[in-house]
C-alpha cells in the first residue's frame, strides 16, 4: 500500500517541523447545573489536562471509548468550546482567548468534519448554496467565480455537478459526508478535525470516505486530527495515534509501534477487544475490558484507569501517573514494557 | 480478570485487522460512488412548492384561502364596492332591507351593507398588522434569547411569564381604555400581549436546532451570528411560526371585534363588525332588527373560520408527519 | 419534582410583582382620573383637590405604588374609588357567580369534547369525523358575543324557553332551578368555545395512541376493537387530555367578561367592565392580581398534572 509508506515518511519529517497546532495542558469542563437556582454543582471534566502537538502533514488519530472527551478536544482546538484552563496554539500564535472576530480569519485555516452526515447539513439549503456560502462569508471568491469554485469542490469529492441543485435529503449517507467534506475544503484549510467521520456509515462506504480523505490529504497537503472510537479506521488512516481515557491521553505514539506493542494496559485491552479476522488467530488468551468507564464528573483518584485495570497496584490508587516524554509515551506506573 | 474467547460484545469497535484489507480492495473507486448519469440535472422542487402541493390537497384550507383572498380584495377595493357612502346619514332610521338598501339602514340611517364592506378593512388591518408586528418582535426575541442563552435568556423568559400571566382580554380592555381606543392603540396593545407566545415557540425550536451539527458547522466556518440566525436557524424554525401567525390573524380579528363590541375598540362613526354588533345589546334591535347585527356577526364568523382553515391546512402541509 | 415546585413558586413571586408594577403604570397612563369622572363639574376646585389628596392621587407614582404594595402585604386590597367599599369584599361577592359559570362551562365542555373527540378518532376520516371537524372549527371561530346574541334571539326572544339574562328572576329569589335556568345560555356559549378548541386536540392525541405499537399488538392477539379503544387506548390518552383543560381557565376568565356583559351575569367580568368605565384603579389592580394568580396557578397545576400523565417528562 503506497499511501501508507508516504504517510510514514511524512510523519518522520513532521517531527522535525514545528507543530501546526498545539494544546498545552488544556482543560475543558462543562458545568453541571442543579437545584432551585441552577447553581453550578460540579463539572464534567471532558478534557482534563491534555498536551498534544499536531504536526503539518500528519494524521493524528485520537481514539477512546464514547464519552472520554475526544470530540471535546477537537472542538476545543477549534475554539468552539470554552477553555477552562490551558493554552491553545495555532501556527505559533496563541489563540486561547481570541474573540470571535479575531478567530474569523483562522476559521478558514481549521475546519471540522462531523460524524452524523444527516445533522451536519442545513436541510433548507441546496448543495450549491451550502458550498457557496463559506466563499461568500469569507469573500474568498468574487461572485462570478463562485459557481466554478463550487463545481471544482464537487469534483474534488467525487460528486456530479448536478448535485448543486439538490437538497441534502436527496443524498445517501456517504454522499452527504462528501458534501460535508467539500464544505470543509471550501475555505482551503490547513488542518481538518475529522470527528468520527465514518462511524455513522456502512462499512463499504467507510472505506470510500477514508480513501477520499487520504487522497485529499496528498493532493492538498492537509493535516488531520482524526477522531474515532473504532481502531480500524484509525489504524488505516493515521500516522500517529493518541489513546484517550477519561479526559486524558494515556498513550501516544507511532501507529505501528502502538499497535504492535502497546505500553499502556488500556491500549492493550482496546486492541484485544477487537475481533480477529482469522479464526486461527483467535486462540490466544484475551484479557477483557470489564464494566463501564467511571463518571467523568468525579474521576477516580490516582490513575484514572485503576478501577478497570487488571494490573493495578497500590501505587495506582494513590498517585496519578504522568505521560512520560518519550517518543512512544504512556501514562502508567507499570507500563507493559 | 475474565478469560473470553468469544467475540467481544462491544460492536462499536470496527474489526481492526480485517478492515484495511477491505478498504484496499475498493481503492480504485474512491471518487465515484455512483454513475454520474444517474442524476438528471433538473432542480428539485423547493420547499415552497412541496408545501403548496400538500396544502392544495386540503379541501377546506383551499376554500379558506379563496375566501380570505376575496376578503382581502374586498378590503382593498372597499371604497369602490360600497353602494352608498358608509358614513352618509339618511332620513330612514333602522329601515328594513329594501331594493335601495339591501341590508337596511342602521339607527342613524347609514347603509348597513356599505358599512359591512368598509368594516372588512378594519378587521383585516388589525389582523395583519398586529400579527406582523408581534411575530417579527417575538421571533427576534426568541431567536436571540435562545442563541445567546444564560442570563439574557433567563430574564426574557421571566418577562414572557409575566406577560402571559395577564388574562388576555381583561388586560387589553384595561390598557385600551387607559390609552384611549383607536385603531393604532388596539394594534399595539394586542401585539404587546401576544408576542410572548411566539418568542417561546421560536426559542424552543432554536434551542433544539442550535445543538445540531449544521449550526456548529456554521460557527466553525466563522459565520456571523446574524448569518446563522437568519440563514440557518430561522428557515428551519419558520413552519410553526407561520402556522402560529395565521391563527394569530384570526384571533386578533376576533379580539378587535370583542373590544369594539364592548365599546372599547374602534369607535363610531368608523365601522367595525364588532361595533356594528354592539347595537344589538339593545333588546329592540336584537328582536326586531336582525339586519343590524346578523350580517356583521356572519361576516366575522366567515372571516375567522376561513383564516383558521388556512392555518390548519398550513399546519398539515408544513409538518408532513401528522 | 419538589425542587421544580419550589423553583416555580419562587419564580412566581417576582413575576407577580412585575405584573402589579406593569398594571400600575398602565392605569396611571390614563389621561382622566376618577375624581374628574365622579364629581359634578360644579364642585369647587379646593374640594376636588381635597378629594384627590384623600384618595392619595397627589403623591408621586412610586409613592402611590408603595402605599398600595404595603397595603397588599398587610392583606389589604384597598377601597374602591367609586363605591368606597373594600375591594376584597366586592371581589368576594362577584367571584361566586363567575366560578359557577366558569366551572359549569368547563365541565360541560369536558363532557362534550371528550366523547366527541374520541368518536372522531375511532371513525377517523369517515363522514362523522369530517362533520365533527367542521363543527369544531365553527365552534372555535364563532365570536362568543355573536353566539350569545344568537342564542338569546332564538331561545329567549323567539322561543321564550329561557331568560335573556341575569342570574335570577326578579321576585322569585333564585332557587336552584331558577339559577340553572339562567345559567344554561351563558354556560353554553363558553362551553362551545372550549369544545371547538379541544375536540381536535383530543382527536389528535387519541389517533396518536391508537397508532401505537402496543395497540397493534393487542389487535394482533385478537382483542376486540371496542376493548382496544376503551380499555387500552383510552387509559393512555385520557390523562394528557384532562390536563389540557387546565389551560382553558385563563381563557374562561377573559371570555367571562364578554359573556357576563351580554347576559348581565353579576360576576367578575361585569365588575371589570364597571371598574374600567369608572376608572376604579384599586379594584382593577386587585382584579388583575387575582386573575394573574389564577392564571399562574392553573398553569402550574397543568404542568404538574402533565408530569403525572406522562412519566417520561421530568421537571428539574
In-domain check, residue C81: no
Task: Please provide the average confidence, as pLDDT, over all residues in chain B.
Answer: 81
Residue B49 forms contact with A (CB below 8 Å): no
β-strands A59-63, A248-254 pairing: unpaired
Please list every residue in chain A whose beta carbon sits closer than 8 Å to the beta carbon of residue C10.
36
Contact criterion met (CB below 8 Å) for B54 and B316: yes
In-domain check, residue A102: yes
Q: Are residues C101 and C58 in the same domain?
A: no
* Boundary residue ending a domain (A167, A188, A209): A188
| Calpha distance A264→A243 (Å, rounded) | 9
| Calpha distance A224→A80 (Å, rounded) | 17
A297 burial via Cβ count (<10 Å: 0-12, 13-18, 19+): middle
Alpha helices in A111-246 (DSSP H): 127-137, 143-156, 173-185, 203-220, 231-237
| Calpha distance C45→C51 (Å, rounded) | 10
In-domain check, residue A335: no
C-alpha cell at A38: 441552577
Give the pLDDT score at B86: 79
Alpha-carbon gap: B244 to the closest alpha carbon of chain C (Å): 15
Counted across chains B and C, CB pairs separated by less than 8 A come out at 133
Q: Domain total for chain C?
A: 2
* Boundary residue ending a domain (A188, A220, A250): A188
For A137-148, write each residue's pLDDT tens digit.
998 888 889 999
Confidence of residue A68 (pLDDT cuts 50, 70, 90): confident
Dihedral class, residue B190 (left if φ above 0, else alpha if ψ from -120 to 50, else beta) = alpha
**Closest to A74 in 3D by CA, of A86, A60, A55, A85:** A60
Note whether B13 contacts A271, CB cutoff 8 Å: no
The winner for highest mean pLDDT among B44-48, C8-12, C266-270, C305-309 is C266-270
Alpha helices in chain C (DSSP H): 2-29, 34-38, 45-55, 61-73, 87-122, 127-141, 144-151, 176-210, 213-220, 225-227, 234-244, 248-263, 268-277, 281-309
- Residue in A closest to B151 by C-alpha: A38
Specify the CATH number for the domain of residue C174. Answer: 1.10.3720.10
Give the pLDDT score at B11: 35
Q: Are residues A215 and A94 in the same domain?
A: yes
| Calpha distance C17→B318 (Å, rounded) | 40
For B226-238, write each residue's pLDDT tens digit.
999 999 999 888 8
Contact criterion met (CB below 8 Å) for A299 and A246: yes
* Boundary residue ending a domain (C44, C74, C104): C74
Q: What percent of chain C has pLDDT over 90?
A: 10
In-domain check, residue C79: no
Q: Are residues A274 and A218 in the same domain?
A: yes
The winner for highest mean pLDDT among A193-202, C172-181, C227-236 is A193-202
Confidence of residue B70 (pLDDT cuts 50, 70, 90): very high
**CA atoms within 13 Å, Cβ hemisphere of A115:** 14
CB atoms inside a 10 Å sphere around CB C168:
15
In-domain check, residue A277: yes
**C282 lies in which domain range?**
95-309
Q: Are residues A208 and A319 in the same domain?
A: yes
- Is residue B40 scored above 50 in pLDDT? no
Of A104, A175, A229, the CB nearest to B12: A229
C-alpha cell at A186: 471550501
Contact criterion met (CB below 8 Å) for C91 and C295: no
Q: Are residues A31 and A70 in the same domain?
A: yes
Rounded average pLDDT over C95-109: 90
Please list every residue in chain C whose beta carbon sits closer than 8 Å to the beta carbon of residue A39.
none
Give the three-state DSSP class for A249. strand
CA B250 to chain centre: 8
In-domain check, residue A23: yes
Residue A285 forms contact with B (CB below 8 Å): yes
Q: Domain total for chain A?
A: 2
Give the three-state DSSP class for B121. helix
Residue tagged 362613526 (cell numbers): B269
Please list every residue in chain C whose beta carbon sits closer than 8 Å to the beta carbon of residue B310.
none
Confidence of residue A221 (pLDDT cuts 50, 70, 90): very high
Alpha-carbon gap: A113 to the closest alpha carbon of chain B (Å): 8
Q: Are residues C50 and C116 in the same domain?
A: no
Residues 6+ away with beta carbon under 8 Å from A319? A302, A303, A333
Task: Please provide the average confidence, as pLDDT, over all residues in chain A.
Answer: 85
Q: Are residues C58 and C153 in the same domain?
A: no
DSSP B36: G
In-domain check, residue A213: yes
Confidence of residue A185 (pLDDT cuts 50, 70, 90): very high
Rounded average pLDDT over C289-302: 83
**Closest to A214 in 3D by CA, of A229, A192, A189:** A192
Q: Are residues C227 and C152 in the same domain?
A: yes
Please list every residue in chain B whose beta carbon sits closer than 8 Å to the beta carbon of residue C30.
177-179
Rounded average pLDDT over C13-41: 72
Residue C146 forms contact with B (CB below 8 Å): yes
Note whether B261 contacts C250, CB cutoff 8 Å: no
- Is residue A12 scored above 60 in pLDDT? no
Give the pLDDT score at B136: 95
The winner for highest mean pLDDT among A2-11, C176-185, C207-216 is C176-185
In-domain check, residue C90: no
Confidence of residue C282 (pLDDT cuts 50, 70, 90): confident
In-domain check, residue C316: no
Q: Are residues C260 and C119 in the same domain?
A: yes
Confidence of residue B19 (pLDDT cuts 50, 70, 90): very low
Interface of A with B in 6-65 (CB under 8 A): none
Specify the CATH number for the domain of residue A76. Answer: 3.40.50.300
Give the pLDDT score at B20: 44
Q: Which chains touch B (3 or more CB pairs under 8 A)?
A: A, C
**CA atoms within 13 Å, Cβ hemisphere of A322:** 5
Give the pLDDT score at A193: 95
Give the pLDDT score at A154: 95
For A241-264, write each residue's pLDDT tens digit.
999 999 899 999 998 888 888 899
Q: Are residues A12 and A157 in the same domain?
A: no
The phi, psi pair for A41, rounded to 5°, reads -95, -10
Of B60, B178, B322, the CB nearest to C26: B178
Q: Are residues A289 and A217 in the same domain?
A: yes
Q: What percent of chain C has pLDDT over 70?
A: 84
| Calpha distance B114→B271 (Å, rounded) | 9
In-domain check, residue C80: no
In-domain check, residue A336: no
CA A213 to chain centre: 13
- Is residue B39 scored above 80 in pLDDT? no
Alpha-carbon gap: A324 to the closest alpha carbon of chain C (Å): 44
Interface of B with C in 26-85 (CB under 8 A): 60
Q: Are residues C152 and C291 in the same domain?
A: yes
Give the pLDDT score at B16: 39
Which segment of A70-74, A220-224, C237-241, C270-274 scores lowest on mean pLDDT? C237-241
Of B60, B158, B257, the CB nearest to C11: B158
**Closest to B163 in 3D by CA, of C299, C103, C304:** C299
Q: Are residues A207 and A160 in the same domain?
A: no
| Calpha distance B27→C287 (Å, rounded) | 77
Give the pLDDT score at C290: 85
For B255-272, write each residue's pLDDT tens digit.
999 999 988 888 888 889
Confidence of residue A8 (pLDDT cuts 50, 70, 90): very low
In-domain check, residue C194: yes
Residues 6+ away with beta carbon under 8 Å from B40? A162
| Calpha distance A34→A42 (Å, rounded) | 9
Q: Are residues A278 and A164 in the same domain?
A: no
Q: Are residues C277 and C142 in the same domain?
A: yes
Q: Are residues C173 and C126 in the same domain?
A: yes
For C181-230, write each residue's pLDDT tens digit.
888 899 999 999 889 988 888 888 888 877 777 777 777 777 777 777 77
Contact criterion met (CB below 8 Å) for C257 and C245: no
Q: Are residues A181 and A200 in the same domain?
A: no
Residue B155 forms contact with C (CB below 8 Å): no
Note whether A211 contacts B7, CB cutoff 8 Å: no
A16 burial via Cβ count (<10 Å: 0-12, 13-18, 19+): exposed
For A115-143, write each residue's pLDDT tens digit.
888 889 998 889 999 999 999 999 888 88
Give the pLDDT score at B94: 73
Confidence of residue A23 (pLDDT cuts 50, 70, 90): very high
In-domain check, residue C173: yes
Q: Are residues A93 and A176 in the same domain?
A: no
Task: Please provide the average confidence, as pLDDT, over all residues in chain C.
Answer: 80
In-domain check, residue A40: yes
| Calpha distance A52→A164 (Å, rounded) | 38
Please list every residue in chain A whose beta carbon sits closer than 8 Å to the beta carbon of residue C6.
36
B143 burial via Cβ count (<10 Å: 0-12, 13-18, 19+): buried
Rounded average pLDDT over B170-182: 83
Of B167, B261, B308, the CB nearest to C141: B308
- 3-state DSSP of A43-106: EEEEEEEEEEEECCCCEEEEECCCCCCHHHHHHHHCCCCCCCEEEEEECCEECCCCCHHHHHHH
**A88 lies in which domain range?**
3-109+189-330
Give the pLDDT score at C19: 83
For A309-329, write each residue's pLDDT tens digit.
888 888 888 888 888 877 888
C-alpha cell at B91: 332620513
Rounded average pLDDT over A185-209: 91
For B124-149, write each residue's pLDDT tens digit.
999 999 999 999 999 999 999 998 88
Of B4, B16, B41, the CB nearest to A288: B4
Give the pLDDT score at B21: 44
| ipTM of the prediction | 0.83
Please list every residue in chain A whose beta carbon sits closer than 8 Å to the beta carbon of residue B224.
137
Q: Are residues A131 and A162 in the same domain?
A: yes
Give the three-state DSSP class for A225. strand
**CA atoms within 13 Å, Cβ hemisphere of A293:** 22
| Calpha distance A27→A45 (Å, rounded) | 7
Please list every residue in chain B whose beta carbon sits closer than 8 Å to the beta carbon of residue C140.
308
Q: Are residues C227 and C131 in the same domain?
A: yes
* Boundary residue ending a domain (A165, A188, A211): A188
For C52-94, write each residue's pLDDT tens digit.
666 666 667 788 788 888 877 877 777 777 777 788 888 888 8
Positive or negative torsion for Cα A133, A134, A137, A141: negative
Residue A152 forms contact with B (CB below 8 Å): no
* Boundary residue ending a domain (C15, C42, C74): C74
Long-range contacts of A35-43 (CB under 8 A, 24+ apart): A35/C3, A36/C3, A36/C6, A36/C7, A36/C10, A37/C7, A42/A297, A42/A298, A43/A84, A43/A297
Please list every residue in chain A whose beta carbon sits closer than 8 Å to the beta carbon of residue C4.
none
Give the pLDDT score at B281: 79
For C140-166, write each residue's pLDDT tens digit.
899 998 999 999 989 888 888 888 777
In-domain check, residue C89: no
* Boundary residue ending a domain (C74, C103, C136): C74
Residue B304 forms contact with C (CB below 8 Å): yes
Q: Which chains touch A (3 or more CB pairs under 8 A)?
A: B, C
Give the pLDDT score at B246: 94
Give the pLDDT score at B25: 42
Residue tagged 481515557 (cell numbers): A245
Which segment of B78-87, C33-42, C95-104, C280-289 scores lowest on mean pLDDT? C33-42
Note whether A286 contacts B40, CB cutoff 8 Å: no
Q: Are residues C45 and C118 in the same domain?
A: no
Q: Are residues C70 and C117 in the same domain?
A: no
In-domain check, residue A337: no
Give the pLDDT score at A31: 83
Q: Are residues C62 and C151 in the same domain?
A: no
Which DSSP string do the residues of C190-256 spell out, in sequence order? Answer: HHHHHHHHHHHHHHHHHHHHHTSHHHHHHHHTT--HHHIIIIIIHHHHHHHHHHHGGGHHHHHHHHH
Q: Are residues A150 and A94 in the same domain?
A: no
Rounded average pLDDT over B186-192: 92
Amino acid at each position: 500500500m503506497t499511501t501508507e509508506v508516504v504517510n510514514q515518511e511524512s510523519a518522520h519529517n513532521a517531527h522535525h517541523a514545528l507543530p501546526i497546532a498545539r494544546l498545552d495542558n488544556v482543560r475543558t469542563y462543562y458545568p453541571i447545573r442543579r437545584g432551585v437556582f441552577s447553581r453550578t454543582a460540579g463539572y464534567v471534566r471532558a478534557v482534563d489536562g491534555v498536551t498534544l502537538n499536531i504536526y503539518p502533514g500528519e494524521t493524528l488519530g485520537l481514539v477512546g471509548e464514547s464519552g472520554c472527551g475526544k470530540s471535546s478536544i477537537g472542538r476545543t482546538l477549534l475554539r468552539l468550546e470554552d477553555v477552562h484552563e490551558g493554552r491553545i496554539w495555532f501556527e505559533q500564535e496563541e489563540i486561547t482567548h481570541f474573540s470571535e472576530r479575531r478567530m474569523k480569519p483562522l476559521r478558514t485555516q481549521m475546519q471540522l468534519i462531523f460524524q452524523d452526515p444527516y445533522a451536519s447539513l442545513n436541510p433548507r439549503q441546496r448543495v450549491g448554496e451550502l458550498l457557496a456560502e463559506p466563499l461568500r462569508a469569507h469573500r474568498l471568491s468574487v461572485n462570478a467565480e463562485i459557481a466554478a469554485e463550487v463545481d471544482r469542490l464537487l469534483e474534488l469529492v467525487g460528486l456530479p455537478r448536478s448535485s448543486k441543485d439538490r437538497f441534502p435529503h436527496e443524498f445517501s449517507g456517504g454522499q452527504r459526508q462528501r458534501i460535508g467534506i467539500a464544505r470543509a475544503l471550501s475555505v482551503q484549510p490547513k488542518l481538518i478535525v475529522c470527528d468520527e467521520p465514518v462511524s455513522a456509515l456502512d462499512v463499504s462506504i467507510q472505506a470510500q470516505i477514508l480513501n477520499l480523505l487520504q487522497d485529499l490529504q496528498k493532493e492538498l497537503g492537509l493535516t488531520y486530527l482524526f477522531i474515532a472510537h473504532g481502531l480500524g479506521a484509525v489504524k488505516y488512516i493515521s500516522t500517529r495515534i493518541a489513546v484517550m481515557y477519561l479526559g486524558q491521553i494515556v498513550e501516544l505514539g507511532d501507529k505501528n509501534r502502538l499497535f504492535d506493542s502497546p505500553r499502556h494496559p488500556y491500549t492493550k485491552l482496546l486492541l484485544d477487544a477487537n475481533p480477529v479476522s482469522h479464526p486461527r488467530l483467535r486462540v490466544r488468551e484475551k484479557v477483557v475490558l470489564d464494566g463501564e468507564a467511571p463518571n467523568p464528573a468525579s474521576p477516580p483518584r490516582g490513575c484514572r484507569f485503576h478501577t478497570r485495570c487488571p494490573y493495578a497496584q497500590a501505587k495506582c490508587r494513590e498517585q496519578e501517573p504522568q505521560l512520560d516524554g518519550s517518543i512512544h509515551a504512556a501514562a502508567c506506573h507499570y507500563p507493559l514494557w | 480478570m475474565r478469560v473470553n474467547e468469544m467475540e467481544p460484545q462491544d460492536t462499536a469497535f470496527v474489526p481492526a485487522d480485517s478492515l484495511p484489507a477491505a478498504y484496499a480492495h475498493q481503492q480504485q473507486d474512491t471518487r465515484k460512488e455512483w454513475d454520474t448519469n444517474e442524476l438528471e440535472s433538473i432542480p428539485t422542487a423547493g420547499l415552497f412548492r412541496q408545501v403548496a402541493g400538500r396544502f392544495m390537497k386540503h379541501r377546506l384550507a383551499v376554500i379558506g384561502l379563496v375566501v380570505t383572498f376575496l376578503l382581502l380584495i374586498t378590503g382593498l377595493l372597499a371604497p369602490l364596492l360600497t353602494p352608498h357612502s358608509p358614513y352618509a346619514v339618511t332620513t330612514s332610521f333602522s329601515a328594513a332591507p329594501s331594493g335601495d338598501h339591501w341590508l337596511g339602514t342602521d339607527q342613524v340611517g347609514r347603509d348597513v351593507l356599505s358599512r359591512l364592506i368598509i368594516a372588512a378593512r378594519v378587521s383585516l388591518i388589525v389582523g395583519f398588522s398586529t400579527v406582523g408586528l408581534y411575530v417579527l418582535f417575538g421571533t427576534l426575541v426568541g431567536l436571540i434569547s435562545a442563541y445567546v442563552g444564560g442570563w439574557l435568556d433567563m430574564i426574557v423568559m421571566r418577562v414572557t411569564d409575566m406577560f402571559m400571566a395577564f388574562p388576555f382580554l381583561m388586560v387589553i380592555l384595561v390598557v385600551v381604555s387607559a390609552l384611549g381606543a383607536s385603531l393604532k392603540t388596539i394594534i399595539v396593545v394586542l401585539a404587546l400581549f401576544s408576542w410572548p407566545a411566539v418568542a417561546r415557540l421560536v426559542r424552543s425550536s432554536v434551542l433544539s436546532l442550535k445543538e445540531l451539527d449544521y449550526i456548529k458547522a456554521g460557527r466553525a466556518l466563522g459565520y456571523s451570528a446574524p448569518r446563522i440566525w437568519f440563514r440557518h436557524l430561522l428557515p428551519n424554525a419558520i413552519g410553526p411560526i407561520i402556522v402560529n401567525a395565521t391563527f394569530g390573524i384570526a384571533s386578533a380579528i376576533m379580539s378587535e371585534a370583542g373590544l369594539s363590541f364592548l365599546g372599547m375598540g374602534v369607535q363610531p362613526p368608523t365601522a367595525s363588525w364588532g361595533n356594528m354588533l354592539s347595537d344589538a345589546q339593545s333588546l329592540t334591535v336584537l328582536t326586531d332588527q336582525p339586519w343590524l347585527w346578523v350580517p356583521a356577526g356572519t361576516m366575522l364568523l366567515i372571516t375567522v373560520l376561513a383564516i383558521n382553515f388556512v392555518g390548519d391546512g398550513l399546519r398539515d402541509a408544513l409538518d408532513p408527519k401528522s | 419534582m419538589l425542587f421544580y415546585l419550589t423553583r416555580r413558586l419562587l419564580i412566581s413571586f417576582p413575576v407577580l410583582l412585575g405584573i402589579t408594577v406593569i398594571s400600575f403604570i398602565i392605569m396611571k397612563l390614563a389621561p382622566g382620573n376618577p375624581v374628574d369622572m365622579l364629581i359634578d363639574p360644579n364642585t369647587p376646585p379646593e374640594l376636588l383637590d381635597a378629594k384627590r389628596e384623600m384618595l392619595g392621587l397627589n403623591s408621586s407614582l412610586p409613592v402611590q405604588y408603595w402605599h398600595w404594595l404595603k397595603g397588599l402585604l398587610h392583606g389589604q386590597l384597598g377601597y374602591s374609588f367609586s363605591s368606597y367599599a373594600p375591594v376584597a369584599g366586592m371581589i368576594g361577592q362577584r367571584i361566586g357567580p363567575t366560578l359557577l359559570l366558569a366551572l359549569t362551562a368547563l365541565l360541560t365542555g369536558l363532557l362534550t369534547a371528550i366523547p366527541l373527540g374520541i368518536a372522531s378518532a375511532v371513525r377517523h376520516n369517515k363522514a362523522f369525523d369530517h362533520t365533527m371537524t367542521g363543527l369544531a372549527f365553527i365552534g372555535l371561530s364563532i365570536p362568543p358575543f355573536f353566539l350569545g346574541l344568537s342564542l338569546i334571539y332564538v331561545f329567549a326572544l323567539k322561543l321564550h324557553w329561557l331568560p335573556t339574562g341575569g342570574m335570577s328572576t326578579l321576585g322569585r329569589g333564585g332557587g336552584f332551578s331558577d339559577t340553572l335556568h339562567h345559567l344554561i345560555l351563558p354556560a353554553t356559549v363558553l362551553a362551545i368555545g372550549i369544545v371547538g378548541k379541544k375536540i381536535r386536540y383530543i382527536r389528535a392525541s387519541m389517533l396518536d395512541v391508537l397508532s401505537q405499537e402496543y395497540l397493534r399488538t393487542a389487535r394482533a392477539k385478537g382483542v376486540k376493537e371496542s376493548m382496544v379503544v376503551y380499555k387500552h387506548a383510552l387509559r393512555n390518552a385520557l390523562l394528557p387530555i384532562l390536563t389540557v383543560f387546565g389551560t382553558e381557565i385563563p381563557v374562561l376568565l377573559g371570555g367571562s367578561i364578554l359573556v357576563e356583559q351580554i347576559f348581565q351575569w353579576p360576576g367578575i367580568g361585569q365588575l371589570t367592565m364597571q371598574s374600567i368605565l369608572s376608572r376604579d384603579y384599586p379594584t382593577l389592580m386587585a382584579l388583575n392580581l387575582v386573575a394573574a394568580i389564577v392564571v399562574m396557578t392553573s398553569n402550574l397545576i397543568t404542568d404538574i398534572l402533565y408530569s403525572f400523565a406522562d412519566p417520561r417528562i421530568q421537571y428539574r
